[in-house]
Amino acid sequence: MNIIIVGAGKTGATLAEDLSGEGHNVTVIDLDQDRLEQIGAENDILCIPGDGLNNADLSEAGIEEADVFIAVTGSDEQNLLSCLFAGKNQNCATIARVRNPMFIKENAFIRDRIGLSMIINPELAAATEISRLLRFPSAIEINTFAKGRLEQLTFKIPSGSVLDGKNLTYVRTKIEKDLLVCSVERGGEFYIPSGNFELKSGDKVSVVIAPRVAQRFFRHIGIDTHKVPTAMIVGGGMMTHYLADQLLNHNIGVKIIESDRERCEELNEKFPAAIVINGDATDKKLLLEEGVEDVGAFVAISGIDEENILLSLFVKEVSDAKTVTKVNRIAFNSVIAKLDLDSVIYPRSITAEYILQFVRAKQNAVGSNVENLYKLVEDKVEALEFKIREDAPIIGVPLSRMRLKDNVLICGISRARKIIIPGGSDTIQAGDSVIVVTSHKHLNDVSDILA
């Protein structure tokens, strides 16, 4: 497809790389020549110096032939106006990044009036993911499928766990039948395991499981499932705004540390139930005085990656708090993955996942539609949810007889209100939502899983 991206910042660069890697024709528009040169040097992407509000620049980028138009500049207003201009091409889907809570409240109205296909808010999406993690702090990562009826949970097997030394067949027959282990990360290597795969302490394990079953399973293996009682948040930006709102609504105590006094006053007025501290979070004495040793969770989401990482590592040393660390630059994610951090949040990767999901769903798949898409294990594995249509070639075939590609696992089936953790005799029907985990990239249709 022909895709135009307006905005060559961190999010725009990530999208350009991902979408180009999926085989799309990508054009990036930005006024910053240096950013464009960097993107163009690293990828086979057409870069045009210009403005997304300028018709001549849009024409040069090929707006008349564009299938998808994505506006991710630093200005909400510019993104919305750019999409309004691009929407004159009726065959072009438009996506705008919008951060302002005022606009988000009018989401449906704006989408209808401007004709947007999607509004994406990276801070809100990241805050929602963090909130979910703090309600289930033993998980490193949580992704939802089938409108929340199925979850993909990633957790680390602790030393001395009942899972240590057990193979997957034992786990399903003796511990919990209503789950499926979909991937395992061990020593930098990843596996999509079969039944005889043996788990070890220290493994990062991803399971597909229904939320009600997850509570039972984690209690059985001795992992706490209670939400954190309190959270200390470093940074007072827009993500903190959304996160504090969600945590307070779930009766989680919130303490915010922010260095800008004016921003502290705004947060204090907006969230009177929260404790807002005007101070420097890199001051160890301040953290200790504010009780960092006793908090349930520590969330480092300031605008400086290095600060977030170092603060989280410090808190790991002095407390048992669940740590969540925001990182904007993803060039060193393989190094960060080796650090003793609990959960790491990459907002622009979350944004890219949402947009990739939309683009794949738009590609006129034959037998299915991509409903959800998540990247796992440092982008080496994808978890996808397909909505099955009547012409899908896999309908009615028992899973044991289905000829799947290597490193493809069907992990879950949602049928009406029924959740199925599939076995060899199960079949897929039209209308099902099917969750697939695979190391293969760029799957647009469920038929792509077949050998």
pLDDT, one tens digit for every residue, the chain (451 residues): 999 999 999 889 989 998 998 889 999 999 999 999 989 887 789 999 999 999 999 999 999 999 999 999 999 999 999 999 998 877 899 999 998 888 877 878 888 888 899 999 999 999 999 999 999 999 999 999 988 899 999 999 998 899 999 999 999 999 999 999 999 999 888 899 988 999 999 999 999 999 989 989 998 898 888 899 999 999 999 999 999 999 999 999 999 999 999 999 999 999 999 999 999 999 999 999 999 999 999 999 999 999 999 999 999 999 999 999 999 876 677 778 778 899 999 988 888 888 988 888 887 656 668 889 998 877 788 999 999 999 899 999 999 999 999 999 999 999 988 999 998 999 999 999 999 999 998 888 899 999 8
Residue 269: predicted pLDDT: 96
Residue 368: predicted pLDDT: 65
- Are 371 and 361 contacting, i.e. CB atoms less than 8 angstroms apart? yes
Residue 380: predicted pLDDT: 83
List phi, psi (to 5°) of 412.
Answer: -165, 150
- Are 157 and 166 contacting, i.e. CB atoms less than 8 angstroms apart? no
Residue 42: predicted pLDDT: 76
C-alpha to C-alpha distance for 145 and 435, rounded to whole angstroms: 8
Paired tokens of 286? 């301040």
- Domains observed in the chain: 2-120 (3.40.50.720), 141-220 (3.30.70.1450), 230-345 (3.40.50.720), 366-449 (3.30.70.1450)
Kindly give the pairing relationship between strand 297-300 and strand 322-326. Answer: parallel
Residue 287: predicted pLDDT: 96
Overall residue count recorded for the chain in this entry: 451
List phi, psi (to 5°) of 276.
Answer: -115, 120
Residue 331: predicted pLDDT: 65
- Residue among 48, 116, 36, 38 at smallest CA distance from 76: 116
Kindly give the pairing relationship between strand 253-258 and strand 230-234. Answer: parallel
